C-alpha cells in the first residue's frame, strides 16, 4: 500500500471515529460516576469508555450508543495501526527511531482492541488491564515520534507546541489513571476532563502530521 493511500486511510478512519463517537454521545441517556442523574452525556465528566456501557451510568438503555462507540473504537484501532506505519516517513533521518515507533505503536493498537471489547461495567479488571497494555507502548511510540520530529526539516514551532502539549496531557491522564487504579478511593474528578484534552490533542496531532505527508 502506497504512502499516500495509507495517509488517506488514516484521515478517513479518523473522521469516521469522530462521527461515530459524536453519534454515540448524542444518544447516551445520561449519568456519570460523579452525577448519575445528569440527563445526557457530559463532555467533561463522562469517560469515553462510559459510551461502551449497554446500560448508562444513569440507568438508561444505551445499547445503540454502545454499539456505535464500540465500532468507533475499533475504527480508531485501524486508524492508529495504519498511522504507526507512517513513522518511518515522518522520521526519515531517524531510521531506528521510526522502527521503534512502528513496533511500539502496533503493540499499543493490539491493546486498544481489548479496550474496545472489554466494557468497564462488565469486565472492569480486564478493561483496566487493557488500558495499561495499550497505554504503555503507546506512550513510548508517542514520545519517539514527537521528539524525533523536532530534528526533522520543516518541523514548525506550532507542531512542536502541539506535540509537547499532547505528551503532557497524555502523561497527566496516565498518572491520574494510575493513581486511581493503584490507590482507589473513587474516581479523581479531573481525570475525565484531562482524558478529553489528551484525546483532542492526539486527534489533532494525528491529523496534522498525516496531512504533512500527502
Per-residue pLDDT of 25-49, as tens digits, reads 999 999 988 888 888 899 888 988 8
Q: Domain of residue 83: give its range.
A: 3-213
Cα dihedral sign, 193-38-126-73: negative
139 closest CA partner among 170, 106, 182 = 170
Cβ–Cβ under 8 Å, residues 87 and 104 = no
Q: Where residue 177 falls among pLDDT bands split at 50, 70, 90?
A: confident
Per-residue pLDDT of 74-91, as tens digits, reads 999 899 989 999 988 888
Mean pLDDT over the full length of the chain: 86
Q: What is the pLDDT of residue 148?
A: 83
What mean pLDDT do residues 106-118 have?
80
Q: What is the pLDDT of residue 1?
A: 75
Q: What is the pLDDT of residue 108?
A: 86
Cβ–Cβ under 8 Å, residues 7 and 36 = no
- Total number of domains constituting the chain: 1
What is the rounded CA–CA span in Å between residue 94 and residue 75? 29
Q: What is the pLDDT of residue 98?
A: 85
Amino acid at each position: 500500500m502506497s504512502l499516500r493511500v495509507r495517509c488517506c486511510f488514516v484521515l478517513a478512519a479518523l473522521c469516521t471515529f469522530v462521527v461515530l463517537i459524536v453519534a454515540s454521545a448524542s444518544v447516551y441517556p445520561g449519568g456519570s460516576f460523579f452525577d448519575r442523574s445528569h440527563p445526557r452525556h457530559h463532555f467533561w465528566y463522562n469517560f469515553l469508555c462510559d459510551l461502551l456501557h449497554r446500560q448508562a451510568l444513569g440507568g438508561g438503555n444505551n445499547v445503540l450508543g454502545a454499539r456505535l462507540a464500540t465500532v468507533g473504537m475499533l475504527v480508531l484501532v485501524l486508524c492508529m495501526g495504519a498511522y504507526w506505519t507512517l513513522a518511518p516517513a515522518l522520521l526519515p533521518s531517524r531510521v531506528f527511531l521510526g522502527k521503534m515507533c512502528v513496533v511500539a505503536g502496533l503493540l499499543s493498537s493490539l491493546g486498544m482492541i481489548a479496550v474496545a471489547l472489554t466494557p468497564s461495567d462488565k469486565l472492569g479488571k480486564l478493561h483496566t488491564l487493557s488500558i495499561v497494555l495499550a497505554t504503555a507502548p503507546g506512550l513510548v511510540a508517542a514520545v519517539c515520534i514527537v521528539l524525533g520530529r523536532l530534528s526533522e526539516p520543516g518541523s514548525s514551532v506550532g507542531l512542536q507546541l502541539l506535540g509537547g502539549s499532547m505528551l503532557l496531557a497524555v502523561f497527566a491522564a496516565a498518572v491520574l489513571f494510575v493513581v486511581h487504579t493503584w490507590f482507589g478511593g473513587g474516581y479523581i474528578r479531573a481525570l475525565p476532563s484531562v482524558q478529553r484534552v489528551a484525546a483532542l490533542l492526539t486527534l489533532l496531532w494525528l491529523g496534522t502530521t498525516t496531512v504533512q505527508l500527502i
